[in-house]
Structure 1
C-alpha cells in the first residue's frame, strides 16, 4: 500500500492517480472531509489526517509500503515557518516510530542551502530531519510550479499587467507542471532502486526554461488580451504581498525566496543526484488556468 500525505494537492493527486491507474492500493491522506470524494472516485482509500499531530500521521501511514510526504506552508498561520516545522516534526516522529519501506519527500530546488532562501530553508529542514528516519529516502526536488502564477492571473487579466518578482524580466528560470512532478513521484515510489544509504536526490523541471516575458506572452495569447510583464520594484514586494493577503512573516519568506532566485541560488544542485524533465508546457497548464481566472475577473 502507498500512502500519499497531502493527496488533495496538485502533486499528490497526480501521484495517487498514476498509482491507481497502475493498479496499486493507495491510501490518500487529506486534511478535510470535503477532499475525500474526488480521491475515492479514482479508487483510493481515504483518511483525514492532522499533519500537526504525530499520532494522527502514524495512524495514516500504518502498514504502508511507501509514503510520499508533503508539508504545505500554512498560509494563514501567524508564523507559517514555525507551523511548517511543527508539521515536519510530527511526520518525522511518526516515521521514526514505524519506518515504511520507502519515504519520498517532495522538496524544492535550493533545498541544499541552510539559510538565505526564504521558504526554501524549510525544505532544507525537511530533508535534514528525514535523514534521521531509518528508511530508504528519496528527495524529489522540483522547480517553481507553473500553477503558482494562478495567484496573479486575475490581476493580469483585469489590469493588463503581470507583476513579477523575477528580475530581470528576460531572465530564464526553471519551472515545472505539478502533474509532471506527480508522475515522476509515482514512478520513484515503485522503484526498487531507492537509496539504502544516502538519500536518492532527483531534480525535476520542464524541458524548457521560461522568463516573466514568456509568462505574459502566454497569457496574452490564451486570453486574447494584451498583458505586459512588470518588474515589481524590490522595495514594493513586502507591501504588495501583504496587500494580497499574506502575513508579514509570510511576505518576508516570499521576498527572501525571490532574492535568492534572482541571485541564482534556486536551481539544480550542481553534480548531485539525477535529473528528470517534464513534457508539459506552460501553455498547456495555462490553457486551464487562464479561462478560470477570466471567469473570476468577469464576476467582479
Structure 2
C-alpha cells in the first residue's frame, strides 16, 4: 500500500494518479471526505486524517509499504509555524512508531539551513525529525512552485502590474510545476533499487530559471495585455501581506523567506543532492490557472 498525505493537493493528486497508473494500491489521505471523491474514482482507498491528530495519522499509515508525507503550512492559523511544528511532531512520531519500508518527504530548496529562512526553516525541522526513522528515506526538495504566482495574478490582470518580492527583478530564480514534483515523487517511491545513502536528497526545478520580468512577460502574452513587473520595496512587504489577510506571524515567515531568497540562500544543495528537472513550462502552468479562473467566472455569472 502506498499512502499519500495531502492527496487532494497539487502535488499529492498527481502522485496518487501516477501510482494508480502503475497498478499500485493507493491510500489517499485527505482532511475532508469531499476531497476524496475524484481520488476514489481512480481507485484510491480514501482515509480521513488530521495531521494534528496522532490517532488518525497512525491509522492512515497502518499497513503501508511506502508513505509520501507532506506537512503544509496552515495558512488560516494565527501562528502557522507553531501549528506546522505540531504536524511535524505528530507525523514523525507516527512513522517512528510504525516505520514503513519507504518514506518520501516533500521538502524545499534551502532546507539544509537550520535558521533564517522563514517557512523553509520548518522544512529543515521536518527533515531533522524524520532522519532517525528506520525506513529508506528520501527528501524531495522542490524549488518555488510556479502555482504560487496564482495569488497575485488577479492583481496583475486588474492593474497591469505584477508585484514581486524577488529582488532585483532581473535576478533568475529556480521554480517548478507542482505536477512535475508529483510525478517525480511517484517515480522515486516506485524505484525499488537499494538506496546508496539514506536519507537520499533529490532536488527538482524547471528546465529554465526565470526572473520576475520573465513572469510578467509570460502572463502578459497569455492575457494579451501589457504586464509590468514591480519590485515591492522591502519596507512595504509587511503592510502588503497584512492587507492580503496574512497574520503577523505568517507575514514574518514570508518576509524572512524572501530575504533569504534575495540573499542567495535558497537554492539547490549541489554537494549532496541528485538534481532533476521538470518539463512543464511556466506558460503551461499560467494557462491552466487562467483557464480555471475563466471557468469559475463563467459558472458564477450563470448562477447570478
Which residue of structure 2 aligns with residue 84 of structure 1? Answer: 84
Deviations 1:157-193 (A, max 9, x none): 0011000000010100000000000000001001123
- TM-score, normalization by structure 1: 0.97
Which residue of structure 1 aligns with residue 2 of structure 2? Answer: 2
Q: Secondary structure at the match of 1:99?
A: coil
Q: CA deviation at 1:272?
A: 1.0
Which residue of structure 2 aligns with residue 241 of structure 1? Answer: 241
Deviates more, 1:253-262 or 1:284-293: 284-293
Q: CA deviation at 1:42?
A: 1.3
Which residue of structure 2 aligns with residue 144 of structure 1? Answer: 144
Which residue of structure 1 aligns with residue 101 of structure 2? Answer: 101
Q: Tell me: CA distance 1:297–1:41, structure 2 relative to 1, closer, same or farther (3 Å).
A: closer
Output the CA distance in 2 between the equivalents of 1:138 and 1:64: 16
Q: Secondary structure at the match of 1:10?
A: coil
Q: CA deviation at 1:288?
A: 1.1
Contact 1:150–1:293 (Cα < 8 Å) also in 2: no
Deviations 1:62-101 (A, max 9, x none): 0000000000100010110000000010011110111000
Which residue of structure 1 aligns with residue 68 of structure 2? Answer: 68
Q: CA deviation at 1:122?
A: 0.2
Matched residues, number: 300
Asked if 1:23 corresponds to 2:40, the answer is no
Which residue of structure 2 aligns with residue 156 of structure 1? Answer: 156
Q: Tell me: CA distance 1:297–1:39, structure 2 relative to 1, closer, same or farther (3 Å).
A: closer
Output the CA distance in 2 between the equivalents of 1:37 and 1:167: 41
Q: Tell me: CA distance 1:194–1:82, structure 2 relative to 1, closer, same or farther (3 Å).
A: farther
Which residue of structure 1 aligns with residue 37 of structure 2? Answer: 37
- TM-score, normalization by structure 2: 0.96
Q: Which runs of 5+ in 1 are unaligned?
A: none
Which residue of structure 2 aligns with residue 193 of structure 1? Answer: 193
Q: Which runs of 5+ in 2 are unaligned?
A: none
Q: Secondary structure at the match of 1:4?
A: strand
Deviations 1:259-292 (A, max 9, x none): 0000110000121120100000000111111234
Which residue of structure 2 aligns with residue 205 of structure 1? Answer: 205
Q: CA deviation at 1:297?
A: 7.9
Output the CA distance in 1 between the equivalents of 2:60 and 2:2: 11
CA RMSD of aligned residues (A): 1.5
Deviates more, 1:124-133 or 1:284-293: 284-293
Deviations 1:114-140 (A, max 9, x none): 000000000000000001211111000
Q: Secondary structure at the match of 2:162?
A: strand
Q: Tell me: CA distance 1:196–1:61, structure 2 relative to 1, closer, same or farther (3 Å).
A: farther
